[in-house]
Amino acid sequence: MDTETFDQFLEQLERYVRERLIPAEKQVIADDKIPDEIVAEMKEMGLFGLTVPEDFGGAGLNTTQYAKVVKAMSYAAPAYRSIFSINVGMFNSAIKNGGTDAQKAKWWPRIAEGAIACFGLTEPGSGSDSAAMATTARPDPDGNGWILNGTKRYITNAPHAEVALIMARTEKDALPKNAHVSAFIVPMDTPGVSTGSPDEKMGQSGSHISDIMLDDVHVPGEALLGGETGKGFRFAMMSLDNGRISVGAASTGYARRALDSAIKYANERQAFGEPIANFQLIQQMLSESWTEIYAAEAMMADVTARVDRGENTVKHAAAFKVFASEMCGRVVDRVVQIYGGAGYLAEYDAERFFRDARIYRIYEGTTQILQLQIAKHMLREYAAGV
């Protein structure tokens, strides 16, 4: 999308967030569900196909533009981002990086129209440790397809997704590294696919996660992403870079919302005959929060520009996600402190901000796993003389 058109779209989106999505947050929280009419509006706006090429019905956004959209959407309740971000940041990225022409032609138009996708990597016994993956895909003896068995856990959008990208073990051993994992495009209405009840969570009402159970699920040969075994993990990791940028952008947008709320509250709340915004230690918390959000915004601009230039951004995407998610945690903690006793009450937004933000430091790679990943890349670069 050209810059002028995108700027107009972003301006309209920011207005939609403030005038439509934020006023509906109480209903989303009460019902633990985004209203159907809002989901329909989001599909009509093209949010489910932001990065799908225009020739296939999408908006064709680059990564810089996509991150700006995520940040704008994340000023409202996190559920609004969750319902479309898997489509755009992970499923579509995997199709783009590893899909065959036939898979792109089949799935890109559906995603652009609003088919909801999910991403099946994590399992009860494995997350970042792909060597422990237990889900299997074995060749179908009656044809050229595959039979999948296993369980995936904590899968965002699973309860209402129409399609899943499932990582499964196609070889017993993990040599060469991660070559035992392949990726499969699995429609959720395929016989043998079922989901558990949505998990009850600490926060992020309206965003649903659940297990996916695969019981002798037969898929055709064309379901194998890229048409080759042993490349699924690489495709997954490449798409996780986009997912981590999405979480970083979401953390940054939500931190901005929390800070704006704290500024408003600090100017309205009176103590000792004046607004608490006049107190220097309140000002310190506000200024520290603004400074950290600014730093995250600068990181976002840098890493997305690198992606759009075609650079390897594994380390940079991980660093942005780590900093932004940890930053958001610090900001919402300060916001609760600024609200004081009111910050501990569900009646006020600060309590919800605190609960909602906690997951950002966990999914798409915990802070600790990503710190290890960053360090490994640093050491490899040192050894290579980079």
Give the chain's end-to-end CA distance (angstroms, integer): 35
Q: Compute φ and ψ for 46, nearest 5 degrees.
A: 85, 15
Q: Distance between CA atoms of 181 and 359, rounded to whole angstroms?
A: 26
Q: Are strands 117-120 and 146-156 parallel, antiparallel or unpaired?
A: unpaired
Active-site residue flag, 274 = no
Residue 186 corresponds to which tokens in the numbers above? Answer: 């699995």
* DSSP string for residues in 325-378: HHHHHHHHHHHHHHHGGGGGSTTSHHHHHHHHHGGGGTTTS-HHHHHHHHHHHH
Q: What's the Cα-to-Cα distance from 308 to each of 28, 313, 316, rounded to whole Å?
A: 35, 10, 13
Contact yes or no for 49/59 (Cβ under 8 A): yes
- Of 361, 306, 357, 367, nearest to 336 by C-alpha is 357
Question: Could you say which of 292, 297, 351, 364 is catalytic?
Answer: 364
Beta bridge partners of 195: 212
Residue 157 corresponds to which tokens in the numbers above? Answer: 């959008």
Rg over CA atoms, the chain = 21
Secondary structure class of 117 (helix, strand, coil):
strand
Beta bridge partners of 294: none
Residue 63 corresponds to which tokens in the numbers above? Answer: 């990564």
Residues 6+ apart with CB under 8 A from 265: 338, 339, 342, 348, 350
Contact yes or no for 124/213 (Cβ under 8 A): no
Strand runs labelled E in the chain: 117-120, 136-139, 146-156, 163-169, 181-187, 193-195, 209-219, 270-271, 274-275
- Mark 228-258 as b/e (b = at least 16 C-beta within 10 Å): ebebbbbbbbbbbbbbbbbbbbbbbbbbbbb
Task: Tell me the catalytic residues.
Answer: 364
